Structure 1
Amino acid sequence: MSGIPEFKTVVKNVSAQMRRLRETQPDLMTAFSQLAAAGTKEGALSKKTRELVALGIAVACRCDDCIGFHVQALVKLGTARAELEEVLGTAVYMGGGPSMMYATHALKAFEEFTADA
């Protein structure tokens, strides 16, 4: 599939750039880290459920970088491919054809990150 990034590389490269921003923009990055922690913590919804929601939004918004990070987190949380596929189905329902194309990106990311698991 051409045009689909290598997600391990995407996550590695974006993480490196975020580390650089942490040095030059510490207040911004601290706030972003706090936002991410608050948005994914256990509560009425499990951490995994919240990450699944985030992935659905990433697909609907067509953000490959976000797809990489959220799929990586979901693999670490033990997400089954069937769970991932159901979320992708909902994202496609909400976002139409463009979301279908990015749903295939999420599947590729899942395959990359589960290859090591």
Structure 2
Amino acid sequence: MSTFDHTGLMQDINAQLGPFRQSQAATMRGFSAMAQGALAEGALSAKQKELLALAIGVTQHCSGCIGFHVKALVRLGATRAELEEALGVCVYMGGGPALMYAAEALKAWDVLAQPEPAVC
């Protein structure tokens, strides 16, 4: 099984983008507003929209996207069955390469769906 570290990857991405968020504040505010608008509840639920976002990340081979969207799906109460069904569509549409990233998404789910350790 993959030993890919999505938690570390997401931390690295956030750390690297920190200075970029400051130097390109207007652009990043615009990107954030676009994300909030695109993912807001509407005819599709936020969870359905995150499943779509994850599917695009899988088929575009974006490990960071997989980590962030799996984390959002866990937060939104998605089930592993919903994740697996969405990944099945990814494999259908993206073939073997999507299958490799579907495995990565399943590993991310296994790690990110674990309860946070208690802080003493």
Q: After the TM superposition, which of the residue ranges 83-92 and 6-15 deviates more from structure 2? A: 6-15
Deviations 1:38-84 (A, max 9, x none): 11110000000000000011101010000000000000011100000
What is aligned with 1:90?
89
| RMSD, aligned α-carbons | 1.2
Q: Which moved further from structure 2: 16-25 or 42-51? A: 16-25
* Offset from partner CA, 1:15-57 (integer Å, 9 cap, x none): 1222221111101111110111111110000000000000011
Is 1:109–2:108 an aligned residue pair?
A: yes
Give the distance between the partners of 2:15 and 2:40, measured in 1 at CA. 24
Quote the Cα distance in structure 2 between the aligned partners of 1:5 and 1:60: 17
Runs of 4+ in 1 over 3 A off after TM superposition: none
- What is the 5 A alignment of 1:1-117? 1-2=1-2, 5-116=4-115
* Structure 2: runs of 5 or more not aligned: none
Distance 1:79 1:12 in 2: 22
In our comparison, the structure showing a higher alpha carbon Rg is 2
Q: How many residue pairs get matched?
A: 116
Using the aligned pairs only, state the percent identity: 48
Counterpart of 1:83, as a letter, is: E
- TM-score w.r.t. the length of structure 1 is 0.94
Rounded to whole Å, the distance in 1 between the matches of 2:55 and 2:9 is: 18
For structure 1, the 5+ residue unaligned runs are: none
TM-score, length basis structure 2: 0.92
